[in-house]
Structure 1
Amino acid sequence: MKISSLEVYGDSMLVINQLLTHYEVRKEDLIPYHQMATQLLEKSDFVTLEHMPRKDNQMEDALANLAATLALTKDEAVNLPVCHC
């Protein structure tokens, strides 16, 4: 997608620090995800990674959890209206 600048906000301080190479990824089942994320981040010219506590991103967390529960095939689509009151 040729994204030159990317801001990433995560609610896991551990994952943010792992991506910043401050911490090592020790769980074997998470290493492939870390490698994929690192490869994707390397494709951007400028990347910032910041921790955002879960209490400050409840809406984003709910949407991420909802997206994780939707198991769609490649040809399926779902229209999901989202509004903020």
Structure 2
Amino acid sequence: MKTIEDVLYDLVLPLVEDEKSLSVQRLASLDENEIILTIYAESADIARLIGRQGFMAQAIRQTMSIGSRVLDKRLNIKFESY
């Protein structure tokens, strides 16, 4: 079974130009019912992942929230560029 980080990585991989610049990491949370995932990519790729008015980011979050319901966890996805 894939981890939630792997699922998110596989979901956003076709949307970025340079797959080597893409990284998905799980951050520690004080709340045991919350999963915090951060997507790191180059600024041009992050702009593509967020999309106009955040539509792509919202779609990614909604898609991933379906999987987090199975885990009975709240999912928080952040987008970071480097």
* TM-score band, normalised by shorter chain: 0.3 to 0.5
- Structure of greater relative contact order (alpha carbons < 8 Å, 6+ residues apart): 1
TM norm structure 1: 0.32
Higher gyration radius (CA): 1
Question: More helix by proportion, 1 or 2?
Answer: 2
Question: More strand by proportion, 1 or 2?
Answer: 2
TM norm structure 2: 0.33
